[in-house]
Amino acid sequence: MALQIFLTTGHYLCSMSKEIVVSGIRSTGHLHLGNYFGAIQNYVKMQDAYECYFFVADYHSLTTHPDPKDLKANVFHVLAENIASGLDPNKVALYAQSDIPEIPELYLMLNMMAYVGELEKVPTFKDKVRQQPDNVNAGLLTYPVLMTADILIQKAVKVPVGKDQEQHLEMARNFAQRFNSRYGDFFPEPQVFRFNNDAVKIMSLDGNGKMSKSENVNATIYLSDDDDIIKKKIMKAKTDAGPTEPNAVMPDYIQNLFLLMSLCSKPETVDIYRNNYNNCTIRYGDMKKQLAEDMAAFVHPIREHAWELQKDEALMRKILKEGAEKARIGASKTMAGARKLIGINYY
Ligand code: TRP
């Protein structure tokens, strides 16, 4: 009987152990629909199937010397927007990077194994050198090392990131390997997590590439945009004179409007405009008016919820604190193990 109970409990524990996912959220900039549908919705889907650690990468943001007065508001803002978008602090560990002292500690150790030559070759670093030649600080150079520490501190195996971060992940695997071959097998090699292969990719409303944080703000719909702004931006979205033959192939900027409509409007509405497109009777002005209305209605509750959360500083602090407590359980274990392997265990 006792054995039976033991086995059942054992099995229960086994099925409870989920793969570990870590990802960092930039603390600057406002979230837009591209982030919402392309990334955050995927994070939301992961919360049940994986043991997730999502953090605001506030240390990383220091590379550009943000005004100290802005830091807290930035962190609370992205935190609130992510929660309003569906991240549940009860399901995932949601924390600030700077609340986990084990991260900079591991970063220091990993820095001893990261070579200046390889760091200088990283394309994102070279971009920064070009963009901000007057501020090529050591933090910028070692950005991939800090990112590796973020990941390895939880011994994560899966890291959901965009294409622009894949090189950083490759470096994280290299650093993990290097540590393991010097000190003994300790860190798993983290892989890029393509949770949803056909992740939604939203284009900028001006038709120039993807909806991105820093480029044309008038062609980007932010979760913080109010109804009027959303309407204005949608009405200005790029269109053309319309199709001239039935069932014509859609230019990508028109496809994008249909994609947005399929995400924010009722399926019947999308069907109507698709039919109009196919029989060349579409009036883009009408379509955009409808889309603007539906999109404003879609974003409205998220914006309001984010605003409510952000204003509630006590709640924000409680969420951060509880998230850090969860994250530090694994982090302190990892650090104790790493120190021991390196030989820093004097007591
Ligand atoms: N560098 C990532 C970005 O710019 C953010 C980030 C920091 C991150 N640390 C991380 C992502 C660790 C994944 C894992 O988007």
Give 85-140 pLDDT, tens digit per residue: 999 999 999 999 999 999 999 999 999 999 999 999 999 999 999 999 999 999 99
Catalytic, 128? Answer yes
Which listed residue (91, 213, 289, 333) is catalytic? 213
Query: What are the per-10-residue average pLDDT scores of the chain (347 residues)?
Result: 44 65 91 92 93 98 95 96 97 98 98 98 96 96 98 97 92 98 98 80 92 81 97 97 96 97 97 97 97 98 98 98 98 98 95
Residue whose CA is at the smallest distance from ligand 1 atom 4:
26
H-helix segments, 154-283: 166-183, 227-235, 252-264, 267-278
Res 13: pLDDT: 42
At residue 5, the pLDDT reads 45
Mutation probe of ligand 1 site: the residue of 52, 151, 168, 193 with most atoms within 8 A of C-beta: 168
Distance 161 CA to ligand 1 centre (A): 7
Q: Which two tokens stand for residue 176?
A: 């993990």
22 lines ligand 1 (CB under 6 A): yes
Mutational test site, ligand 1, from 40, 50, 147, 213, max ligand atoms within 8 Å of CB: 147
**Active site (annotated) includes residue 333:** no
Task: Measure CA of the first residue to CA of the last residue in the chain; give whole Å.
Answer: 43
Q: What is the pLDDT of residue 213?
A: 55
Within 8 A by CB and 6+ apart from 189, the residues are 157, 172, 173, 176, 177
> How many Å lie between the centroid of ligand 1 and the Cα of residue 94?
14
Q: What is the pTM of this model?
A: 0.90
CATH architecture of 225-306: Orthogonal Bundle (1.10)
DSSP letters along 186-218, please?
A: -----EE--S-TT---PBPTTSSSB--SSS-GG
Q: Show me where the domains of the chain are located.
A: 5-200+312-342, 225-306
CATH top-level class for 5-200+312-342? alpha beta
Ligand 1 and 213: CB distance under 6 A: no
Nearest to 25 by CA among 92, 90, 121: 92
**Nearest-angstrom CA–CA distance, 53 and 91:** 10
CA of 78 to the centre of ligand 1 (A): 14
Residue (of 152, 146, 155) closest to 108 by Cα position: 146
The atom number, within ligand 1, closest to the CA of 97 reads 9
Buried b (16+ CB within 10 A) or exposed e, 25-61: bebbebbbbbbbbbbbbbbbebbeebbbbbbbbbbbb
pLDDT score for 79 = 97
Query: Is 193 in contact with 151 (CB distance < 8 Å)?
Result: no
pLDDT of residue 251: 96
User: CA-CA distances (angstroms) from residue 49 to 19, 90, 190, 236, 316?
Assistant: 8, 14, 17, 40, 25
Output the CA–CA distances (angstroms, integers) from residue 331 to 25, 56, 102, 150, 346, in the order listed.
Answer: 18, 16, 6, 9, 20
* Catalytic residue status for 45: no
Same fold, 5-200+312-342 and 225-306: no
Q: Residue 85: what are its φ and ψ, rounded to 5°?
A: -85, -5
| Choice from 21, 22, 23 to test ligand 1 binding pocket (greatest atom count within 8 A of CB) | 23
Tokens of 237: 């979205």
